[in-house]
Amino acid sequence: MSSDLRSFAGVDRLLHEPARTLIVAILAAVESADFLYLQREAGLTKGNLSVHLSKLAEAGYVDIEKTYRGKLPLTLCRLTGKGRAAFLDYRKQLKQFVENT
Amino acid sequence: MADEIQRSQLRALQYWYVDGTFEMGMGGLCLLLAAYFYFQDVLRGTLVGEMLAPAFLLVVIGGGWLINRFVRRVKERITFPRTGYVAYRSRQETRRGVRIAFAGGLGMLIAAFIGWLVVHSPSALDWMPLLTGFLFGVVLLLFAWRIRLGRFSLLALLSLALGIALSILNMEEWSGVTLYYGAMGLLLVLTGACVLRSYLRQNPAPEDPPDEQ
């Protein structure tokens, strides 16, 4: 196995999934986004998005706050410092791998 | 994959402008400035007219604040229930301070330059719509470049064209600037309304409240 491939094998498996990468990428560009926005942008079902968000929250990458706007429930998602660092690292590894192959 | 990441991040930045309320807000501010210049022209020589001159900054800051509140309120009622809520990161305090100081300094420099021009060469007033159109056009071009939205480039070109046309017409004193802000305000409100109409067509009101788990 070449060194490039070896370094890519150590990529964050939690982020190396298209739907989760997209969710984290969106959250990295903003302060916070609600469930509806993420669902529409990532093109996922409510159940699917819930599962992905739970996994990211368990890893400490995403902070989920359940609140209300008026009488409507509002789920706000925010990338944590750990999540932002992991995403930057993942992007760096991905870019390096693409450049070297 | 990397392209998709960049696209989704850019779309998140463009989301603030997706419903046309930003243009409508900017248009509202331009109409407010048109009203300010109109009344300053009409009331010249009176006590109220004298009081209006130093109130320019108050009109810009106060008007901007009011319009920002209006845009947020409209978004909360129309945009967020349809396509979701996004909050943007506030820039780092130190960088923000530098940016505000830079923008304020630049604004004061431009205002001082215009004041100096008007005092030393009254005929410079004939070119004021061109200067205003150019400066406003540059601001719109910066928006277009930052968020990659073509309609702002078009608005920048229209701003410059309007400034040139009104300067060639050679109108009396501040009438050219009044007309410029009036026309630009209407143009921005109209553009914003068209964008909002298209947005509402593509995103009908949700029938059920969101059921989030």
A2-46 pLDDT, tens digit each: 666 666 677 888 898 999 999 999 999 999 999 999 999 999 999
Residue B179: pLDDT above 90? yes
Residue A21: closest CA among chain B residues belongs to which residue?
B5
> Residue B122's pLDDT is what?
66
Q: How far, CA to CA in Å, does B16 sit from each of A2, A4, A36, A76, A79?
A: 45, 40, 15, 17, 19
Q: Which amino acid is at B114?
A: I
Residue A69: pLDDT above 60? yes
Residue A57: pLDDT above 90? yes
Report which of residues B52 and A74 the model is more confident about: A74
What tokens were used for A50? 């819930």
pLDDT digits (tens, 9 = 90+) for B11-46: 999 999 999 999 999 999 999 999 998 988 888 878
Residue B84: pLDDT above 70? yes
Which of A11, A12, A21, A30 should be substituted to probe chain B, the one whose Cβ sees the most B Cβ atoms within 10 Å?
A30
Do the chains contact at A36 and B84, CB–CB below 8 Å? yes
Percent of chain B topping pLDDT 90: 42
Q: In chain B, which residues have their Cβ closer than 8 Å to the Cβ of A50?
A: 212-213
Residue B95: pLDDT above 80? no
Q: In chain A, which residues have their Cβ closer than 8 Å to the Cβ of B72?
A: none
Dump the DSSP string for chain B.
-HHHHHHHHHHHHHGGGTTSHHHHHHHHHHHHHHHHHHHHHHTTTSHHHHHHGGGHHHHHHHHHHHHHHHHHHHIIIIIHHHH--EEPPPPPHHHHHHHHHHHHHHHHHHHHHHHHHHHH-GGGGGGHHHHHHHHHHHHHHHHHHHHT-HHHHHHHHHHHHHHHHHHHHT-STTHHHHHHHHHHHHHHHHHHHHHHHHHHHHSPPPSS-----
B125/chain A closest Cα distance in angstroms = 43
* Torsional sign, CA B92, B97, B99, B100: positive
Q: What is the mean pLDDT of residues B117-128?
A: 72
Q: In chain A, which residues have their Cβ closer than 8 Å to the Cβ of B5?
A: 21-22, 25, 91
> Residue A76's pLDDT is what?
94
Residue B204: pLDDT above 70? yes
Residue A42 CB partners (closer than 8 Å, separation 6+): A19, A22, A23, A26, A49
> Residue A2's pLDDT is what?
63
Q: What is the mean pLDDT of residues B102-125?
A: 70
Residue A34: closest CA among chain B residues belongs to which residue?
B85
Do the chains contact at B5 and A98, CB–CB below 8 Å? no
Mean model confidence pLDDT for chain A: 88
> Residue B212's pLDDT is what?
54
Start-to-end CA distance of chain A, whole Å, equals 13
Residue B91: closest CA among chain A residues belongs to which residue?
A31
B86/chain A closest Cα distance in angstroms = 4
Q: ipTM score here? A: 0.83
Q: Which amino acid is at B136?
A: F
Residue A70: pLDDT above 80? no
Mean model confidence pLDDT for chain B: 84
> Residue B44's pLDDT is what?
80
> Residue B93's pLDDT is what?
52
Q: In chain A, which residues have their Cβ closer than 8 Å to the Cβ of B11?
A: 41
Q: In chain B, which residues have their Cβ closer than 8 Å to the Cβ of A98?
A: 2
- Judge contact between B42 and B173, C-beta under 8 A: no
Confidence at B200, pLDDT banded by 50, 70, 90: very high
Record the pTM. 0.81
A40 CB near a chain B CB, below 8 Å? yes
